């Protein structure tokens, strides 16, 4: 692998889309250029939200007029719940792992290593005992995972995994004795069969401990890129299979392929033991079934057995289209039956009644012509027209300065500049183009504006809107009990919803909502910033990148099932919860995030809501955080309007709000006109980079 260069960063400036990039607020991190064991590139980014861009990291002054909390009474259980939660004010790093995408026509050949039946059972049992893995690896996915493990012998004193390194393998100990070392101290020894290093299969997470062999031993190993191949193979196969089932149904295939595609993502899996009555003649029909495995027997009163249905056959589809009574009884045969199901209520939530489905139009479908990036302030010359006011932030690859126009003093900007040599060294060219193009397309009062870019031989420059009112994260943690009163929370959440409405209508999903990525404008309104994880996505197509902040990520990201803009609505539900409680519902004290991901997969139903939270916001959160993406509020036929029309926003004048005519409960904390008093003081930059003239930025 060779020597890894070490870079020193200040302020946690986020750089992404190289092969491996790490950003952190303090200290040093190794920057490594790796490939996985099969030579396929894996792009990994660790983001710390200490980033200072376009007015980020601008704390509201202590004497800022922030609306105080309303008097809300906490019960003893609420107090205990808050104490038990992780309430650290540390900013939460986000994770981005870009996996190589396979096309439906690609030959995804999976490795298979010989094993005895006992070996296979050992692997199955080890995965089954792991709370986290048992939720993401089961069924046919488990059947493919088991053969992909290979044996590795370890010698005494060998380090199997090392704390701080990025992980590319998951292990199961077979024999030998091992010790767990954290920060140089031995915390545990083990010689049993157990899984370790499992987070590596989701993304190349940094190891939180060292595992060292005390004696000779053996371990089973699974490569992360192999696991990604397995999940993608199953995703493709499952999607094709379900779509074919629906297309073969003569009743449903008339509604059109686009609608069927949406329906296919809404199906749930149900299993029935032999002899179980799935539907009974005469009962009111409220669910549609597709047989995925096994057979069922069809009987009618007075006629006996009239047929047998097998894999791929459907029944109950009339229940989706109109209220109807079952015409026959369906019973599960030996050994078991697995069905894909869709309830009538969920069908209507998505499409409406049958008469509407033929005219079905996806309400929030992106506009056919996405806004093109448009340059503003073309007359502003980088060298001749701008005066430096002060530094807003410092990063390892550049700085953000507050600048003022020389002739028009009322014009202030945040000028971000990045060293070109570092962009090339970290292979970030595509990333900076993507971030530029997406943010420059946005023309919303709820999103930080990128006006134009510049370049010279040493840097690329982003001329952006300077939001100097403070970062939401800091304001949140200044509140009593570190949470907002309901009116303030509602105002903040309305700002975010308008930003999402704007992005989604233009085919952009955001994927990293959290207080750290929101800033206050002068008028007290909130603006979305940091487009590091934003992505353009077409209609209902999905992407397989692991992207987001762990306690905010949606279950489909953890499961690597592919995701679309539905993840933003899941994150929005988590965000509403945090604004009202000061914490997120799935957060844990586990530094590996295993417990966080396990909680996420358990669903919002497992969350203990505080008693002081009202019924309406709780109902909104529960509807946003549905496990099935297509069932989330915002993903159904009404689109984002379903959220705006929710009872929690009852009486909210959205048009007046969109025009920024509703007074903000927050007041700008600026003390003087230049705005730098809310920022830390930074030393001058004396590091002048060498020229970079390869020409990659010709059209930047």
Which residues are annotated as part of the binding site for ATP? Answer: 392-400, 416, 420
Rounded to whole angstroms, what are the CA distances from 350 to 83, 95, 308? 40, 32, 31
499-to-508, 518, 622, 662 alpha-carbon distances in Å: 11, 11, 21, 16
Locate 396 and state its tokens.
């390892």
Looking up tokens 């502003």 gives 380
Determine whether 131 is an active site residue. no
Which phi and psi (to 5°) does residue 572 adopt?
A: -65, -40
DSSP 150: E
Cα–Cα distance for residue pair 664/666, rounded to 1 Å: 5
- Angle CA(229)–CA(231)–CA(232) in degrees, nearest 5? 65
d(CA 190, CA 193): 9
How far is the C-alpha of 582 from the C-alpha of 78, rounded, in Å? 12
Q: How far apart are CA 455 and CA 691, in angstroms?
A: 12
Point out the catalytic residue in the list 48, 78, 364, 512: 512
Q: How many Å apart are CA 49 and CA 11, to the nearest integer?
A: 9
DSSP run (H or E) holding 331 = strand 329-332
Task: Give how far the C-alpha of residue 459 lies from the chain's centroid of Cα atoms, to the nearest Å.
Answer: 31
**Terminal alpha carbon distance of the chain:** 33
User: In this structure, what token pair is assigned to residue 674?
Assistant: 């230049």
H helices of 137-279, where? Answer: 139-148, 224-247, 257-264
Output the CA–CA distances (angstroms, integers) from residue 698 to 380, 451, 460, 693, in the order listed. Answer: 20, 18, 11, 10
Q: Which residues contact 16 (CB under 8 A, 6 or more apart)?
A: 45, 47, 96, 428, 431, 532
What CA–CA distance (Å, rounded) separates 504 from 540? Answer: 12
User: What is the distance of C-alpha 150 from the center of its chain?
Assistant: 31
| Nearest in space to 582 (alpha carbons), one of 666, 500, 472, 469 | 472
If we measure between CA atoms, which residue out of 320, 337, 249, 250 comes closest to residue 285? 320
Whether the upstream peptide bond of residue 335 has omega within 30° of 0, thus cis, is yes
543 phi and psi, to 5 degrees? -125, 155
- Residue 132 to residue 120: CA distance in whole angstroms: 19
Catalytic residues: 512
């Amino acid at each position: 692998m060779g020597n890894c260069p070490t870079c020193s960063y200040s302020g946690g400036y986020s750089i992404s889309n190289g092969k491996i990039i790490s950003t952190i607020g303090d200290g040093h991190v190794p920057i490594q250029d790796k490939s996985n064991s099969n030579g396929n590139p894996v792009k990994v980014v660790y983001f710390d939200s200490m980033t200072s861009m376009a007015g980020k990291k601008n704390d509201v002054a202590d004497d800022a007029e922030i609306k105080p909390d309303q008097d809300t009474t906490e019960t003893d259980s609420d107090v205990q719940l808050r104490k038990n939660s992780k309430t650290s004010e540390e900013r939460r790093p986000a994770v981005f792992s870009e996996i190589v995408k396979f096309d439906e026509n690609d030959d995804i050949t999976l490795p298979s290593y010989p094993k005895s039946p006992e070996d296979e059972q050992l692997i199955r049992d080890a995965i089954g005992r792991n709370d986290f893995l048992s939720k993401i690896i089961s069924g046919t996915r488990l059947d493919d995972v088991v053969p992909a493990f290979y044996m590795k012998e370890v010698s005494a004193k060998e380090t199997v995994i090392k704390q701080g390194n990025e992980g590319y393998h998951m292990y199961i100990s077979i024999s030998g004795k091992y010790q767990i070392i954290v920060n140089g101290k031995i915390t545990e020894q083990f010689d049993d069969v157990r899984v370790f290093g499992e987070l590596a299969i989701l993304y190349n997470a940094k190891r939180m401990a060292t595992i060292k062999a005390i004696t000779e031993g053996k371990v089973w190993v699974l490569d992360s890129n192999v696991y990604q191949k397995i999940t993608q193979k199953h995703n493709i196969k499952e999607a094709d299979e379900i779509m074919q089932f629906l297309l073969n149904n003569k009743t449903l295939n008339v509604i059109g392929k686009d609608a069927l595609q949406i329906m296919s993502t809404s199906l749930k899996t149900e299993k029935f033991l032999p002899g179980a009555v799935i539907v009974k003649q005469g009962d009111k029909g409220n669910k549609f079934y597709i047989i995925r495995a096994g057979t069922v027997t069809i009987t009618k009163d007075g006629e006996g057995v009239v047929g047998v249905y097998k894999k791929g056959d459907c029944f109950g589809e009339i229940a989706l289209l109109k209220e109807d009574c079952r015409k026959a009884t369906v019973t599960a045969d030996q050994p078991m039956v697995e069905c894909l199901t869709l309830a009538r209520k969920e069908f209507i939530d998505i499409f409406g009644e049958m008469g509407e489905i033929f005219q079905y139009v996806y309400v929030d479908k992106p506009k056919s012509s996405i806004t093109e990036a448009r340059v503003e302030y073309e007359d502003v010359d980088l060298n001749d027209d701008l005066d430096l006011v002060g530094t807003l932030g410092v990063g390892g690859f550049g700085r953000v300065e507050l600048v003022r126009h020389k002739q028009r003093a009322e014009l202030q900007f945040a000028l971000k500049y990045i060293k070109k040599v570092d962009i090339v060294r970290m292979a970030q060219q595509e990333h900076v183009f993507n971030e530029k193009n997406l943010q420059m397309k946005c023309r919303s009062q709820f999103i930080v504006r990128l006006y134009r870019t510049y370049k010279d031989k040493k840097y690329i420059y982003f001329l952006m809107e300077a939001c100097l009112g403070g970062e939401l994260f800091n304001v949140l943690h200044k509140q009593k009990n570190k949470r907002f009163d309901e009116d303030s929370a509602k105002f903040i959440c309305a700002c975010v919803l308008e930003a999402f409405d704007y992005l989604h209508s233009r085919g952009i999903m955001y994927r990293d909502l959290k207080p750290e990525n929101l800033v206050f404008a002068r008028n007290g309104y909130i603006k979305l910033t940091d487009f590091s994880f934003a992505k353009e996505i077409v209609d209902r197509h999905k992407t397989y990148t692991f992207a987001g902040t762990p306690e905010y990520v949606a279950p489909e990201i953890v499961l690597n099932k592919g995701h679309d803009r539905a993840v933003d609505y899941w994150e929005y539900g988590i965000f509403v919860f945090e604004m009202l409680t000061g914490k997120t519902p799935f957060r844990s004290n586990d530094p590996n995030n295993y417990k966080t991901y396990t909680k996420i997969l358990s669903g919002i139903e497992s969350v203990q809501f505080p008693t002081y939270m009202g019924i309406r916001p709780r109902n909104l959160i529960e509807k946003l955080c549905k496990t099935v993406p297509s069932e989330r509020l915002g993903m159904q036929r009404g689109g984002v309007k379903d959220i705006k029309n929710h009872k929690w926003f009852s009486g909210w004048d959205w048009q007046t709000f969109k025009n920024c005519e509703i007074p903000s409960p927050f007041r700008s904390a600026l003390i003087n006109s230049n705005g730098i008093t809310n920022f830390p003081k930074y030393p001058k930059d004396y590091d002048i980079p060498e020229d970079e003239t390869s020409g990659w930025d010709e059209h930047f």
